[in-house]
């Protein structure tokens, strides 16, 4: 079996369709694995998402065509968990504000009252590989940890928001989780609480988030992901810019996964998935 390898990003969905039309196995990122693309590839048997998430692939439609969708769930949990803790420390220790003052020549140590992690309650919305790594790190800081998962009730989730000093989102984006964090739940957060998102931006109602942070309903948010992230142009939307400019927000450009070590693991995991598909024994299946 031959293989076509592309190292560039597609310019359009039509170009993506042209590239995959004769394939039996595809890896797909940065373009939609939608009904049109799936229908354009009549020989297609397997779709590999080279990431933990796979929300850009129509997994349900693929299943109706007996196409197996698999993901790569193990290469990113460590760096993403580290990044979540880095965002929390950045906010809780008020590092951007202190650094900006010092760059301006100001020395104001008494202005920076920070937030100790020890003894605080961390609530994890999602408890997969990333959540478990965050838990391990948080316990090392002396935090207590609770979590919800796919079996939790709406009442369980509400309780987590009401009781936690820090809420961290580390769950996949699905039709059930989209806008799970809405205005009602944002208002449940303690005034002193922090919200960290290292999962997918659309899990939060972004309009409600901007309004809540502007009102200072809670202490702040650390965000690595956003709803409506830029494509290859890199041009951020007006809504994302509003978040970036808020003084109680720390942001990074969906870069939590990006370490040399994790990218090496990613390559190995993609190859392992390809080999498993070639053997007719797919692993990490998400849709069947």
To the nearest whole number, what is the mean pLDDT of the chain? 95
Q: Give, for 132, the enclosing helix (H) or strand (E).
A: helix 129-140
Q: Please write the tens of the pLDDT for every residue from 65-93.
A: 999 999 999 999 999 999 999 999 999 99
Domains of the chain and CATH, by start: 13-74+260-278 (3.40.50.720), 77-251 (3.40.50.720)
The pLDDT score that the predictor gives to residue 4 is 87
**pLDDT higher than 80, residue 157:** yes
Q: Against a cut of 0.85, is the pTM above it? A: yes
**Contact present, 170 and 131 (Cβ < 8 Å):** yes
Catalytic residue, candidates 82, 97, 179, 254: 254
The pLDDT score that the predictor gives to residue 7 is 83
The pLDDT score that the predictor gives to residue 243 is 96
The pLDDT score that the predictor gives to residue 163 is 98
Nearest to 181 by CA among 134, 225, 144: 225
Q: Please write the tens of the pLDDT for every residue from 177-219.
A: 999 999 999 999 999 999 999 999 999 999 999 999 999 999 9
Q: What is the average per-residue pLDDT within 94-115?
A: 94
Q: Please write the tens of the pLDDT for every residue from 28-58.
A: 987 889 999 999 999 999 999 999 999 999 9
Catalytic residue, candidates 229, 261, 265, 275: 229
What is the C-alpha to C-alpha distance for residues 103 and 113, in angstroms, rounded to an integer?
A: 19
Catalytic residue, candidates 19, 94, 200, 265: 200
Q: Please write the tens of the pLDDT for every residue from 279-288.
A: 999 999 999 7
Q: Is 103 a catalytic residue?
A: no
The pLDDT score that the predictor gives to residue 232 is 64
Q: Which two tokens stand for residue 80?
A: 């993403």
The pLDDT score that the predictor gives to residue 62 is 97
The pLDDT score that the predictor gives to residue 12 is 85
The pLDDT score that the predictor gives to residue 234 is 78
Sheet holding 249-251, edge to edge: 144-148, 121-125, 166-169, 194-197, 220-223, 249-251
Q: Is 265 a catalytic residue?
A: no
Q: Is 229 a catalytic residue?
A: yes
């Amino acid at each position: 079996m031959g293989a076509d390898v592309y190292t560039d990003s597609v310019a359009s969905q039509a170009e993506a369709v042209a590239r995959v039309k004769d394939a039996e196995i595809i890896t797909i990122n940065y373009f939609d694995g939608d009904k049109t693309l799936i229908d354009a590839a009549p020989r297609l048997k397997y779709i590999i998402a080279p990431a933990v998430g796979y929300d850009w692939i129509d997994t349900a439609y693929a299943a109706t065509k007996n196409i197996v969708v698999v993901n790569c769930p193990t290469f990113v949990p460590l760096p993403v968990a580290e990044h979540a803790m880095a965002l929390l420390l950045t906010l809780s220790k008020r590092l951007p504000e202190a650094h900006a003052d010092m760059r301006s020549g100001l020395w104001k140590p008494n202005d920076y009252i920070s937030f100790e992690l020890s003894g605080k309650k961390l609530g994890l919305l999602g408890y997969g590989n990333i959540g478990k790594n965050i838990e391990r790190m948080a316990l090392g800081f002396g935090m207590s940890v609770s979590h919800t998962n796919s079996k939790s009730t709406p009442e369980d989730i509400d309780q987590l928001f009401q009781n936690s000093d820090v809420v961290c989102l580390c769950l996949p984006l699905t039709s059930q989780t989209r806008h799970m964090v809405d205005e009602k739940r944002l208002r449940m957060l303690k005034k002193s609480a922090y919200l960290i998102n290292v999962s997918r931006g659309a899990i939060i109602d972004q309009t409600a988030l901007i309004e809540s942070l502007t009102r200072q309903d809670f202490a702040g948010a650390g965000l690595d992901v956003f709803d409506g992230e830029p494509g290859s142009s890199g041009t951020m939307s007006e809504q994302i810019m509003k978040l970036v400019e808020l003084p109680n927000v720390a942001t990074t450009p969906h870069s939590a996964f990006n370490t040399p070590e994790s990218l090496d693991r990613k390559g190995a995991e993609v190859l392992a998935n390809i080999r498993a598909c070639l053997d007719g024994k797919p692993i990490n299946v998400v849709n069947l």
